[in-house]
Structures are given as structure tokens and as C-alpha cells.
Chain A
Amino acid sequence: DQQVKQNSPSLSVQEGRISILNCDYTNSMFDYFLWYKKYPAEGPTFLISISSIKDKNEDGRFTVFLNKSAKHLSLHIVPSQPGDSAVYFCAASAKGNFNKFYFGSGTKLNVKP
């Protein structure tokens, strides 16, 4: 049972434009969300987090939006750079579950120069 879904396996964006990566979840108990970037043969690198008490969190070029009613979150990268090309994962944890995270299947972002 996939509780966290990333329905777009891939996304291609021109350098300098906005990249929007989407993530949907089914468990209403999820209250903490993370985004990671991953290169082949490496571990995921933490990008940004958001708690369910917020609907937006920004860190430099990265902004995460959370829509609790729609059970949807998105990661915006502005402006996109070729070095952003990687696989992006969203992850969610439920109240009371400490650090047990459920991961989406990932979206491969390609930023074209």
C-alpha cells in the first residue's frame, strides 16, 4: 500500500525556469514531510522539510508547499540549474511514529542548459 505517491516519474525543465515536483499522500496522520535529492550510487541528500502546522517553507531556491486538505505537497525550485538534475523523493512521517518515514517512488528531474 503506497501511502506516499509521486505520480510523475520524470520532469524536464529548461535552465532558469521553475521546476515543480509533486507528491500526494493518503494518510491523514502524516504531520512531517521531507524532500530529498539523490544522485546515483549516493545516499539521499536532505533539501527541505515542512511540518503540518505550516503551509509553506522556504530555503533559498527551494520552497515546499503543503495543502493538507488535498493531502498534497509540492517542491518548487527557482531558478532551476543543471546541477539540480537528480531524482527527488518526498517522505512523510505520522504522529507518534518518530522517524518511520514513508517515501515516494521519486521523480527524475532533468534541467537542460
Chain B
Amino acid sequence: KAGVTQTPRYLIKTRGQQVTLSCSPISGHRSVSWYQQTPGQGLQFLFEYFSETQRNKGNFPGRFSGRQFSNSRSEMNVSTLELGDSALYLCASSLNGLAGRADTQYFGPGTRLTVL
């Protein structure tokens, strides 16, 4: 089975611009989560999508948004970029999460975003 894929792998933007990152989960996985990794804050949960619905959200401003398509692929959007948004953005997919229970997450290679 192919793993989680993320595109693009690297991205350079300037302050004020917006960016869209893409994630294709492992075939059959319906849950997609997004994380931000920075040297100072470590890995922080952004949000989770399941069956095209956001069912979990972290403590990030509204500039960070996402969506999931019917084929479980997900996109994450950051508007009005700030210097502090420079980070590695990781996507993780899980088979399912039934009755509120967690499932093992498998990560993609990440998208390295640099904001100048």
C-alpha cells in the first residue's frame, strides 16, 4: 500500500499571501489529521477530518482551515501568512476512529513552509 503523500514538499511564500497544502491518505483511511511542527512548540494538532467533516480542532487561529473530499483527500489552507507560520506541516491518516476512540496515525513526509 502506498503511504501518506503530501504536496508540495517545499514552499516559500511571503507575508500576507495564502497557501494551500494537499494530503492524500493511505487507501481506505477515512480520517486525516493535520499537525504543525516548529522547533519551539513541537508537534501541535491543527484539526482532524473524517467523512468530509471536521470533528476535532486544535488551538489555532481561524486563518488555518481545512477540508476533506469524498475520496478522503484533504487540503489545508493558511490565509494571510505570518512569519511565525514557517513550519513543517504534517498530515496523518488513520483507518477509523469509532465511538470516540483513537486509532494509529500514519504520517506523510510533510510540507516545509517558509514565510519570508
Binding site for B on A (CB under 8 A): 31-32, 34, 36, 41-46, 49, 89, 91, 93, 95-106
Binding site for A on B (CB under 8 A): 4, 6, 31, 33, 35, 42-45, 48, 50, 55-56, 58, 90, 92, 94, 97, 100-110, 112
CA distance A102 to B59 in the complex (A): 12
- Specify which of B31, B44, B100, B106 is in contact with A97 (CB 8 Å cutoff): B100
Residue of chain A at shortest CB distance from B57: A100
Residue of chain A at shortest CB distance from B56: A100
Contact A42 B110 (CB under 8 A): yes
Residue of chain B at shortest CB distance from A100: B56
The verdict on A100 contacting B42 (CB below 8 Å), with A46-B106, A95-B100 known, is no
Contact A89 B56 (CB under 8 A): no
The verdict on A106 contacting B48 (CB below 8 Å), with A32-B102, A49-B104 known, is no
User: Can you report 27 A-B residue pairs in the complex whose CB atoms are below 8 A from each other?
Assistant: A32-B102, A34-B105, A41-B109, A41-B112, A43-B92, A43-B109, A43-B110, A45-B107, A46-B104, A46-B106, A91-B43, A93-B102, A95-B100, A97-B100, A98-B31, A98-B55, A98-B100, A99-B56, A99-B92, A100-B45, A100-B58, A101-B45, A101-B102, A102-B45, A103-B42, A104-B42, A106-B42
Please classify the interface of chain B as helix (H, G, I), strand (E, B), loop, or mixed, using the class held by over half of its residues. Answer: strand
CA distance A97 to B42 in the complex (A): 20
Contact A99 B100 (CB under 8 A): no
Contact A99 B103 (CB under 8 A): yes
Contact B110 A100 (CB under 8 A): no
Residue of chain A at shortest CB distance from B110: A43
Contact A32 B33 (CB under 8 A): no
Most buried by B among A31, A43, A49, A91: A43
Contact B100 A96 (CB under 8 A): yes
CA distance A42 to B106 in the complex (A): 12
